[in-house]
Structure 1
């Protein structure tokens, strides 16, 4: 017993000894603390990744749903677009997360009830990053998080209706040719600067004395074989002059001056590098319009065709759009009753001709009387067919001045009454003088509803824009 006791004494001394105990405790506790700290970092990183991934999924689901509803994204492309957008958002955070990988999932379902549609967009997936080395003690070197977000959007189609009374000027000035020598026309058709257009306009006005040689064939020949500086020899060298006149099919006894002018007025485009020789050749057909410009009323017919096409496209069943047309010269030339679709107005427009004086009162009065709220005809027609209250429009166009100021006064009065009755007026002053511009500007419901085209293409664009603007009332999408 004594020997056993004596054998235990060294152990008891060791246990009771205070020397080195701190070091031992530190050695035992430090790994535990480090693992705890590492675990805390991993949990913090996982929380941050989860939060960021959720935020990205939320924003992407909304973006995809909005694009589908707005018609900017098809359902067929929604999955690839959503995946790419989610990856792009997460990849911007590569520096925050260690060896980040993302596997997106996108699901889009569409539900239709009648004409209304709803899209449910679900975005999510998994994201993972490396853990701290201490997590390896637990056999975990990657940390995964998953998330899901959804957004629901839809459209409700609200069908509207409209009635438009078209008032157009067919007076004698509508039979005039558009001025192809105006600087604005040249700038538009040839792509010239303002300074270039002014110079070319002057030359083209001079060319009006020589319309007989302005054919595509002659102009192409001159442009391809002569430059401006060659033209001087036409007056001094008889051989050159005869060769030039023969080439373009002109009498060889044409005067020296006229020959030089024909050469110069065609080759102006290469003088001083205004436009290149090749560009001038490419524009021969446009330049020929000096001799064969477009008639105003023909341009009007094209513009009306564009307007009616807009209506037919927006209302293929002829259930929501009613149109009528009144053409005036010195009084009403003719009109069509407002009817479903555009066929009567279109047919009348195609047969219009230009002649006579200008008096807009009675046609504008016709338009107002057809559409005014105290005349229940239009409201009843729409209610019986489509159950809607129509938006009402007048399109008023002229190219000139009324012959008498009294027509300006009375026309303005009917425009005032129409606007007070919530009838929207679009007005178009087509290559019109100052008086016509002032009248049409006054009648327009707003600055945005007033157009001042000078060329055929500008007129067609104006009527197209009016068609687009007015048919917006037919289908509106609410989200």
Structure 2
């Protein structure tokens, strides 16, 4: 008998023996099971990451479409696309890692710039303009090292977002500015006037003193000067969006009519509603550099209401004469304080409700105002989106610009 013939029965017996198979199979399957579970977990993480990336890119693209509508209208499509890409990647980087260090954010932004593409497109006609931004962005998500045994080390997550900002040029409207010119509007803001070395810097504590006693350096722009700048920005924005606007024309516009009135605790003469924006803007520019007086907006609001209400046919007749059978009516109500008494506050609230009941839309601006002033203007605004509470010159200018854009029926929306 050979050695081979002697060993065969032993081998057959060993193969037939199933003792210990469970242990062997378990040893083989445990890593596979763990890896499979890990893949499932990582896929869940990937889906969550993609949802977060999509949300971040959507928000950034929408913001870019809105901003670029006005700030980059003279750029070529290539220039606008490059600038939009920088803007979007910066915003996405902030949204994805709000607590990251500056160095980490910089590195992430560089990676996003490499893996993203942004295109900008402008479609413009006589009646309107569309600014479209499309962003494609991918993100390489690192996987658990164990997953690399059965999969790759990273998974690429890609998202696409398209946003369009539209403005309807030539929206017929009548607008009345109701603006605070009380003593507190003489108080300084925190914005330095670099054109002057010194000036009268009034505050609540030194109000009433002569200009010579409160003159100091640096010179700070006061509230009334900030308001004048904001109104100029508002009318410039309206003019740019008005295809019928003709500077120094007669009429200056065939679509936009504006009026204005300033108030303290004294009733001032108003600038009646006229075609265009120049007369209303000139009226505001003529308000004294250091106004005085208390705060009572009731008469001024009533004046604006009387001019714009439905039962006063003047505005409807004027617009109809230029071919507009319908138009929007707006009041921009601004104060930096609170009414001089509780009775006046109550009367103003009642007047605001009367105005809104008539279909007139109110934009309210509480400029560096105290709590009671903010409460009043929140109540007066036609909606939460129509209420603004700027705390410095830059914010009030932006608020008035946004008001003008809303009047012009500008919209921004995602299309993906």
The alignment's TM-score, normalised by the length of structure 1, stands at 0.47
Matched, 1:52 2:45: yes
Q: 1:314 to 1:388 in 2, by over 3 A?
A: farther
The aligned residue for residue 117 of structure 1 is 132
The aligned residue for residue 420 of structure 1 is 357
Contact 1:324 1:339 in 2 (8 A): no
The aligned residue for residue 258 of structure 2 is 323
Matched, 1:63 2:45: no
Q: 1:387 to 1:347 in 2, by over 3 A?
A: same
The 10-residue stretch of structure 1 (20-29 or 30-39) with the greater mean CA deviation from structure 2: 20-29
The aligned residue for residue 370 of structure 1 is 307
Contact 1:57 1:86 in 2 (8 A): no
What whole-Å deviation, never above 9, does each CA across 1:105-128 have from its counterpart, x for those lacking one?
A: 733343646304242434244756
Query: Does the residue aligned with 1:336 lie in a helix, a strand or coil?
Result: strand
Contact 2:175 2:258 in 1 (8 A): yes
Query: For the aligned residues, what is the CA RMSD?
Result: 6.5
The aligned residue for residue 235 of structure 2 is 312
Contact 2:259 2:274 in 1 (8 A): yes
Deviation at 1:392, TM superposition (A): 1.6
Contact 1:166 1:395 in 2 (8 A): yes
The aligned residue for residue 21 of structure 1 is 14
Alignment partners' CA distance in 2, 1:476 and 1:16 = 87
Deviation at 1:365, TM superposition (A): 5.4
Alignment partners' CA distance in 2, 1:376 and 1:75 = 50
Contact 2:84 2:120 in 1 (8 A): no
Matched, 1:389 2:327: yes
Contact 1:46 1:143 in 2 (8 A): no
Deviation at 1:421, TM superposition (A): 0.6
What whole-Å deviation, never above 9, does each CA across 1:24-47 have from its counterpart, x for those lacking one?
A: 877999777745554454454445
Contact 2:115 2:139 in 1 (8 A): yes
Contact 2:174 2:329 in 1 (8 A): yes
Query: Does the residue aligned with 1:325 lie in a helix, a strand or coil?
Result: strand
Q: 1:19 to 1:366 in 2, by over 3 A?
A: closer
Query: Does the residue aligned with 1:337 lie in a helix, a strand or coil?
Result: strand
Alignment partners' CA distance in 2, 1:332 and 1:63 = 50
Q: 1:24 to 1:415 in 2, by over 3 A?
A: closer
Q: 1:336 aligns with which of 245, 249, 272?
A: 272
Alignment partners' CA distance in 2, 1:144 and 1:359 = 69
What whole-Å deviation, never above 9, does each CA across 1:355-393 have from its counterpart, x for those lacking one?
A: 9xx999986555223211244554576685889732421
Contact 2:61 2:161 in 1 (8 A): no
The count of aligned residue pairs is 338
Q: 1:423 to 1:463 in 2, by over 3 A?
A: farther
Deviation at 1:154, TM superposition (A): 1.4
Q: 1:109 to 1:187 in 2, by over 3 A?
A: closer
Consecutive unaligned residues in structure 2, runs of 5 or more: 68-82, 100-110, 124-129, 192-202, 243-254
Contact 2:60 2:92 in 1 (8 A): no
Q: 1:118 to 1:161 in 2, by over 3 A?
A: farther
Q: 1:149 aligns with which of 151, 158, 162?
A: 158
The aligned residue for residue 107 of structure 1 is 116
Greater per-residue helix proportion: 1
| Aligned pairs for 1:238-253 within 5 A | none
Alignment partners' CA distance in 2, 1:370 and 1:49 = 65
Alignment partners' CA distance in 2, 1:132 and 1:409 = 68
Deviation at 1:344, TM superposition (A): 0.9
Q: 1:382 to 1:158 in 2, by over 3 A?
A: farther
Q: 1:43 to 1:424 in 2, by over 3 A?
A: closer
Q: 1:86 to 1:381 in 2, by over 3 A?
A: same
Contact 1:118 1:154 in 2 (8 A): yes
Q: 1:130 to 1:84 in 2, by over 3 A?
A: farther
Contact 1:50 1:147 in 2 (8 A): no
Q: 1:340 to 1:49 in 2, by over 3 A?
A: same
The alignment's TM-score, normalised by the length of structure 2, stands at 0.52
Alignment partners' CA distance in 2, 1:399 and 1:86 = 40
Matched, 1:346 2:356: no
Alignment partners' CA distance in 1, 2:43 and 2:240 = 53
Query: Does the residue aligned with 1:473 lie in a helix, a strand or coil?
Result: helix
